[in-house]
Structure 1
């Protein structure tokens, strides 16, 4: 999730990011993958090219934001051919969406903003009747459950952000497609907002594969998720093609157009890493040069990095976001700190390869990423993780009182500190309850078991109980649903 200096409110003073040397808290030893090996659970190794089965999802209606997304559509693949004209702040696009009908219906519902005018629409090659009202796109065509369809849309316009259901300062400008004063662009869209720039089933339960063709006047370039498949320049236009081989939820998709320079790095285990940043500035601003160290550290705890590549794109905002394989970081000292890099990279195990099926379970992402960040900070500060968590416990009850319990938060306060710190404290309590060995087995086994999938709280807790042999339902209910912070052992 977006991570900004303001997310903590009263707790900001407790997030010291000093990189002082010290003894590390106990953590298990474990080897990352070898430099020549591919990620063991990468879909490119398990699914043939063009096979869309890996993107099949069990879609659902969200319990927190039911007006966004529709369980009738199971998106399998988005092919987004996007051209940005900075002189006019105009986006021209051709989108091909391959989807499975999850039920019988007389229409196809998608999320899409009316600021973008559709000039042509076809379904399976035949002209399609479409209508857009607000953020709702409807295609007047019957669909049959489990049948596959191909929708092609051509559209253009100037996208704009949508209001965010949050009180955080870094959400003030909204979610979705943002345009800078220099006519560069970036996207952040959690819990929704992808609909501001393409037609989408904008819900985390519906993960899909992506290909991007990004065209912009040179020397600008387009950056997106996945692996950069090709770069060409034609008639003064820069064309970058990106391929994401693993399914992603729409909130984890990123596209940025800007005047970038690129630096190539690699982790010790061989994960290729790219850093894209302003062409006139430092090629590795802040702590972005430590991205390999962040991946290395996390692989020791969580097992092999679950995707084919990792990257960072630095843009003109105040946040950090775990956009899949290409983390989006704002150009601020806090967002470019190594602590935030560790946090956003941790999401690739918790949030990206395993994604919450409902926004009520965003704690599954944020609590674990925050806990791992806390472990990392404790190492840097030379203190125990218990002491670090004690610092956070001093203010956690205030966050819970202001925004609700982590698993039943106020829908108008999305992204507040309550979904970060309470669950982080909970993980430490579980660690002490079940012991080091089983705790770190749980941390490693869950993302490997559920790679490229989605899960909800019930599925997660049931699996932890089965794995540990402990009855933990009441433990999780207290930490996630009680209005008051449970007592700590």
Structure 2
């Protein structure tokens, strides 16, 4: 995730989400309107296929336990969403296929009372539902390890929820946002998906997704994955999207707006789309350099782990590593080459391998920050050691203000402490074990844990086994101590 340039310029030592970037790329592409034919097709079809890839060992989150429930293991969400901009109204039909992890008299999910449920069934039978605050309860008993299909029909005007953060770019809240022009977008880290669909809103539960997005033309809907079909009929546009790899709810995106899209490709053949305002530049900011960002990262981390990559430009000042379709605010900083690579880097660290608990968000941001520093050092003609020396000047202030990276203040989500301290830690580990083993660790971990989740203990144990080093105290010091450890 990234934050606005103004915040970075005003207080670099207190702002966290910097990015990585790549190198420039030549060539251009012909912009297309979103009503055109899809450029590629899905690699498989859910839920007809095997859903085992989306099976998770769910858990209660230690930082935000009020969201998500380990009883539910979501396997596939089918979201049929219709947006009516004249009344800012969402009408939806959701089909959730899930596995119960235990016996229980009811099904708990996260949802928002701003939306009214008109119909609910479980395996085809009507079910009573109740919504209180952000908690949805479906009155239907479940049995451990059995699969169920919940279908909900609902409508209303979604609104964002308060964010557990002090950052200015979180001031609009988390979840669904509607602009003054009646366009929409979603940003939902560490939670907020519940503002527009019924969801197990926690990082440990990854699921497959299909979307059918309907809006009055020339508006259209954009989401994660591959654009499977796109039609316009009777004054309405209908875009269907398919995400073939499981994603945590915080990595899901849906937006409705008047878009054009441009097709690009990386050197290795990763298909790339840039979705931007139909009345503006088809490749705003540095988005034309997106293929180079993928190229630079693949050289370090191995093959890009998903079927496709995209950039969705929306009306805000932030950025988010939404899986396969990063969401970037329409600002100079958010659309910079640096932010592009930062968010793309998360597809290895955060998206294909995801923290099972929000206390381990440093696993995402620390590595993306470190990769940012590597790229910046290349651009500046300096060394990574020099870059981390600069960061070390203010890292202790971040830690004092917001807590250690692995035990941060829950009301200060996304502060710089989860970025810079872990980035310094990675440089210390690199110097300790040498470049060869360090870059093997960087490359092998996301490949080993593809489409999974992990926590600090699992990650550290694996690094120790891979390197042959005893590193428990090293990681504890960097991630849990209130004071910055001494650097070698």
Q: Report the counterpart of residue 351 of structure 1 in structure 2.
A: 350
Query: Does structure 2 retain, via aligned residues, the 8 Å contact 1:19–1:380?
Result: no
Alpha-carbon distance in structure 1 between the residues aligned to 2:368 and 2:45: 27
Alpha-carbon distance in structure 2 between the residues aligned to 1:70 and 1:9: 39
Q: What is the count of residue pairs matched by the alignment?
A: 468
Q: Report the counterpart of residue 27 of structure 1 in structure 2.
A: none
Q: CA deviation at 1:185?
A: 0.1
Change in 2 beyond 3 A, CA 1:275/1:470:
same
Alpha-carbon distance in structure 1 between the residues aligned to 2:350 and 2:390: 25
CA RMSD, 1 decimal: 2.0
Q: Report the counterpart of residue 34 of structure 2 in structure 1.
A: none
Q: Report the counterpart of residue 31 of structure 1 in structure 2.
A: none
Alignment of 1:98-247 (within 5 A): 98-247=97-246
Q: CA deviation at 1:384?
A: 0.7
Alpha-carbon distance in structure 2 between the residues aligned to 1:169 and 1:419: 17
For normalisation by structure 2, the TM-score amounts to 0.93
Q: CA deviation at 1:64?
A: 0.4
Change in 2 beyond 3 A, CA 1:18/1:247:
closer
Q: CA deviation at 1:2?
A: 3.9
Q: Deviations over 1:404-436 (max 9, x none)?
A: 000000000000000000000000000000000
Q: CA deviation at 1:183?
A: 0.1
Alpha-carbon distance in structure 1 between the residues aligned to 2:47 and 2:180: 43
Query: Does structure 1 retain, via aligned residues, the 8 Å contact 2:203–2:355?
Result: yes
For normalisation by structure 1, the TM-score amounts to 0.93
Q: Indicate whether 1:52 and 2:51 are aligned.
A: yes
2:387 is paired with a residue whose SS is: helix
Q: Report the counterpart of residue 382 of structure 2 in structure 1.
A: 383
2:442 is paired with a residue whose SS is: helix
2:96 is paired with a residue whose SS is: strand
2:379 is paired with a residue whose SS is: helix
Alpha-carbon distance in structure 2 between the residues aligned to 1:4 and 1:419: 17
Q: Deviations over 1:71-114 (max 9, x none)?
A: 00000000000000000000000000000001110100000000
Alpha-carbon distance in structure 2 between the residues aligned to 1:17 and 1:85: 35
Alpha-carbon distance in structure 2 between the residues aligned to 1:56 and 1:249: 12
Structure 1's unaligned 5+ residue stretches are 22-42
Q: Report the counterpart of residue 73 of structure 2 in structure 1.
A: 74
Q: Report the counterpart of residue 34 of structure 1 in structure 2.
A: none
Q: Indicate whether 1:10 and 2:11 are aligned.
A: yes
Q: CA deviation at 1:7?
A: 5.8
Q: Report the counterpart of residue 297 of structure 1 in structure 2.
A: 296
Q: CA deviation at 1:396?
A: 0.6
Alpha-carbon distance in structure 1 between the residues aligned to 2:22 and 2:120: 57
Q: CA deviation at 1:389?
A: 1.1
Query: Does structure 1 retain, via aligned residues, the 8 Å contact 2:47–2:76?
Result: no
Query: Does structure 1 retain, via aligned residues, the 8 Å contact 2:212–2:238?
Result: yes
Alpha-carbon distance in structure 2 between the residues aligned to 1:54 and 1:435: 35
Q: CA deviation at 1:13?
A: 10
1:408 is paired with a residue whose SS is: coil
Q: Report the counterpart of residue 472 of structure 1 in structure 2.
A: 471
Q: Report the counterpart of residue 37 of structure 2 in structure 1.
A: none
Query: Does structure 1 retain, via aligned residues, the 8 Å contact 2:298–2:304?
Result: yes
Q: CA deviation at 1:20?
A: 12
Change in 2 beyond 3 A, CA 1:20/1:190:
closer
Q: 300-309 or 47-56, which moves further after superposition?
A: 47-56
Alpha-carbon distance in structure 1 between the residues aligned to 2:74 and 2:228: 23
